[in-house]
Amino acid sequence: MIVIRNAGVLRADKIERATVVIEGDTITSIGAEPISNGARVIDAQGSWLGPGLVDLHVHLRDPGQTWKEDVESGARAAATGGFTAIVAMPNTQPPVDGRSSAIAAIEKARAVETLDIVVAGTLTKGRVGKEMAGFDAMYEAGVRVFSDDGEAVPEAGLLRRIMAYLGDLPGALVAEHAEDRSIAGEGHMHEGMVSSRLGIAGLPGIAEDVIVARDIAIAADTGAPLHVQHVSTMKSVDLIRAAREAGTRVTAEVTPHHLALDETSVDGLDPNRKMYPPLRGADDRAALRSALREGVIDAVATDHAPHSPAEKAVPFEEAPRGVIGLETAAAVVATYALGDDQRTFFDRMSVAPARIAGLDRHGRDVEPGSPANLVLFDPKRRWVPGTFVSKSQNSPFAGLELTGKVLATIHEGRISFEGGLG
């Protein structure tokens, strides 16, 4: 039994200062202080208690690149960041694109007891954008989220056939990395004032916009649901808003780093600030923040992309793309976007991503009978990230003061992280 006292509890219709009792894997009571022997009692001192965070976008690098991260280290980083469920992207080596790779990944994921790891599959065989992946075999194994993350499906005709097919499979979701390779080329940072001044090849925002527009048209045409990964431009936000209003089934995510930083952050050519899509203009960032508040962007997702220190200690243009995000996501979102609004914070960090991934044991309001997947988060605690539990350290937030810290994480009634408790 775990008893959490003095928490700001996220209930269905209100936020209430209360005591929450967890027995087994379930919340059994809220309100009255129980008298119990042997209970683990946590004094929350007014911190936020809500459903455990859910990340739609994580790269675990396992199998194939386990010097960067593996399932176990990624799971520890996730619990440290307040997550109780994550979606693992399929761009492993080999990629998850058929029966055997899906079954192997799912077995490995199930062995982790501190976190629910949802295995995603690719949209195309080998993730090379040529032909459909083994959808039926993966679906039968339990895969529901499909993405070629890292690349968009290059041809509209192929994506249309994929969405028509997956549209028939209940719960299946097409998640797209929206970036037109023919426009993005070999760019390294947002095409804007900073790239212009430094003479570094740019990644124009329109490379994203044209794919979002295309994919929305295909989603409307096929009726299949579309999820736009790591939205980064103002124009994409406008396209998604218009599609929603027209009744198209489209959801979207944004990363913490795109909410917090903009192109001026790469002026010093720090490889730990290099990622795709790149940090955009200040106007894009402002549009992302307001779209997240409004709910036009449903969810925050980290795009946790570990690379070893040696891999990142190279010239900017040669550095691999991607930054880690699991351990700082909640703090960054609170600091830069939603720190004053507990309801919206949990809606975007847990409720919506759980719904998008089809996870019914996550993203639930804290009520008696709900599964005990919870996070205790102090929105006022200031801290400076330094080193990380992840095998990799490529965070753009190292050394920056953040406001808001995960105190403890509870997965299926068991404490998976408590390093933030005083």
Partner 1 sequence: MSDQHTGLISLKGMSRERLEGLLDHAQSYVGSPVTNQLVGVTLTTAFFEPSTRTRLSFASAAHRLGAHVMDLSPDLSSTTKGESFKDTILTLTAIGTDLFVIRHWLADASEMAAYWSGRPVINAGAGKREHPTQTLIDALTLRQEFGHLDGLRMAIVGDISNSRVARGHLEALPELGMELTLVGPTPFLPRYNPWGVKVSTDLDEELGDTDVVYLLRIQSERGASAGIPADGGYGRRYGMSEERLSMLKPTAVLMHPGPINRGIEIDDASADGERSLILAQVANGVPVRMAVISEALEGTG
Residues 294 and 339: beta-carbon distance below 8 Å: no
For partner 1, which is the closer residue by CB, 157 or 399? 399
Residues 398 and 386: beta-carbon distance below 8 Å: yes
CA distance 193 to 187: 14
Q: Which amino acid is at 223?
A: G
Q: Which of 314, 368, 384, 401 binds partner 1 (CB under 8 A)?
A: 314
Q: How far is CA 367 from CA 29, 39, 97, 363, 372, in A?
A: 8, 19, 38, 12, 10
Please report how many Cα atoms fall inside a 13 Å half-sphere around the Cα of residue 82, on the Cβ side: 32
Q: Which residue has the tokens 């006292």?
A: 5
Residues 278 and 256: beta-carbon distance below 8 Å: no
For partner 1, which is the closer residue by CB, 246 or 313? 313
For partner 1, which is the closer residue by CB, 36 or 196? 196
> With binding defined as CB under 8 A, does residue 197 bind partner 1?
yes
CA distance 74 to 168: 33
Residues 194 and 267: beta-carbon distance below 8 Å: yes
> With binding defined as CB under 8 A, does residue 266 bind partner 1?
no
Q: Provide the minimum distance between the beta carbon of 338 and partner 1 in the complex, in angstroms, as a whole number.
A: 31
**Interface size with partner 1, residues (CB under 8 A):** 18
Q: Provide the minimum distance between the beta carbon of 192 and partner 1 in the complex, in angstroms, as a whole number.
A: 5
Q: Which of 82, 202, 205, 306 binds partner 1 (CB under 8 A)?
A: 202
Residues contacting 339, CB < 8 A, separation 6+: 333, 345, 379, 403, 404
For partner 1, which is the closer residue by CB, 90 or 204? 204
Q: Which of 105, 178, 200, 218 binds partner 1 (CB under 8 A)?
A: 200
CA distance 305 to 414: 27
Q: Which of residues 175-194 bind partner 1 (CB under 8 A)?
A: 191-194
> With binding defined as CB under 8 A, does residue 206 bind partner 1?
no
For partner 1, which is the closer residue by CB, 290 or 393? 393
Q: Tell me which stretch binds partner 1 (CB under 8 A): 3-11, 236-244, 311-319, 369-377.
A: 311-319
Give the pairing type, strands 402-411 and 374-383: antiparallel
CA distance 67 to 173: 30
> With binding defined as CB under 8 A, does residue 392 bind partner 1?
no
Structure tokens at 3: 């008893």
Q: Tell me which stretch binds partner 1 (CB under 8 A): 92-100, 251-259, 315-323, 407-415.
A: 315-323
* Per-residue contact flags (x/-) with partner 1 for residues 214 to 253, judged by CB under 8 A: ----------------------------------------
Structure tokens at 409: 């994480």
> With binding defined as CB under 8 A, does residue 199 bind partner 1?
yes
Q: Provide the minimum distance between the beta carbon of 204 and partner 1 in the complex, in angstroms, as a whole number.
A: 8
* Per-residue contact flags (x/-) with partner 1 for residues 403 to 422, judged by CB under 8 A: --------------------
Q: Tell me which stretch binds partner 1 (CB under 8 A): 99-107, 236-244, 312-320, 352-360.
A: 312-320
For partner 1, which is the closer residue by CB, 268 or 399? 268
CA distance 188 to 80: 31
Q: Where are the beta strands (DSSP E) in 24-97?
A: 26-30, 40-43, 48-51, 53-58, 83-88
Q: Provide the minimum distance between the beta carbon of 213 and partner 1 in the complex, in angstroms, as a whole number.
A: 20
H-helix or E-strand spanning residue 382: strand 374-383
Residues 105 and 96: beta-carbon distance below 8 Å: yes
For partner 1, which is the closer residue by CB, 202 or 306? 202
Give the pairing type, strands 116-119 and 53-58: unpaired
Q: Which of 15, 198, 220, 400 binds partner 1 (CB under 8 A)?
A: 198
**303 is known as an active-site residue:** yes
CA distance 53 to 328: 12
CA distance 218 to 44: 47
For partner 1, which is the closer residue by CB, 71 or 200? 200
Q: Provide the minimum distance between the beta carbon of 186 and partner 1 in the complex, in angstroms, as a whole number.
A: 9
For partner 1, which is the closer residue by CB, 148 or 209? 209
* Catalytic pick among 97, 303, 347, 378: 303
* Per-residue contact flags (x/-) with partner 1 for residues 316 to 345, judged by CB under 8 A: xxx---------------------------
Q: At what angle do helices 206-222 and 156-166 cross, to 10 degrees?
A: 40
Chain contacts with partner 1 (rule: CB under 8 A): 191-200, 202, 204, 269, 314-318
The set of catalytic residues is: 303
